[in-house]
Amino acid sequence: MRSYGRSSRFVALLFPATHGEALEMLGPIKVGREFRYSLSCSVADSEMLADVTARGKMVFEGACVSCHGWTGESAISPFATLTGAWAVNEPAATNVAQIVISGTKRHAPSGVISMSAFGNVYSGAEIAAVANYLTARFGSKGSQITARDVAELRKQTAQ
């Protein structure tokens, strides 16, 4: 199989084995604000790209939007606002993934503000998808963190 760089690696890790043949058709197309993943013009390939985006959006809608808000502006706490946050503007999305995996606890004048850990709830592919979705939606540039990268972060967190 030909390699088309990090984008194909990202898609391959989100869709291991089951979509391997379709990955041979990767090439650049514009997604959102930048060129990221790409597929040939076939309907099946377009659906695969939509699946990558949909997976991140689905996780966000199911687990994140109630606290972080659909627009990224939290009604619960300014600490939960994503829009303009450093983490969603980090190109590697490492911080976002680590927070999703391990949660966070912050002491504020009004008390303790926490975010639950989702590392035991979602797969590496789902965490990578939501991290990439968040950086693309609320950051200045979308990231391309992979399920393999998330697995490495899980190892680091466990130490």
Identify the domain containing residue 148 by its residue range. 6-158
Burial class (CB in 10 A: 0-12, 13-18, 19+), 31: middle
Domain count, the chain: 1
Q: Confirm if 117 and 101 have CB atoms less than 8 A apart.
A: yes
102-140 residue pLDDT tens: 999 888 787 888 899 999 999 999 999 999 999 999 998
- Tell me, rounded to whole angstroms, the distance of Cα 103 from its chain centroid: 15
Helix, strand, coil percentages for the chain (3-state, nearest 5): 50, 10, 40
Average pLDDT for the chain: 76
Task: Decide if 32 is inside a domain.
Answer: yes
Task: Decide if 27 is inside a domain.
Answer: yes
pLDDT, position 18: 36
pLDDT averages per 10-residue partition of the chain, 159 residues: 39 40 39 41 52 85 94 92 94 95 87 90 95 93 92 90
44 Cβ contact partners less than 8 Å away, ≥ 6 residues apart = 22
Task: Decide if 35 is inside a domain.
Answer: yes
Task: Decide if 78 is inside a domain.
Answer: yes
Task: Decide if 1 is inside a domain.
Answer: no
Task: Decide if 10 is inside a domain.
Answer: yes
Domain containing 107 — which CATH number?
Answer: 1.10.760.10
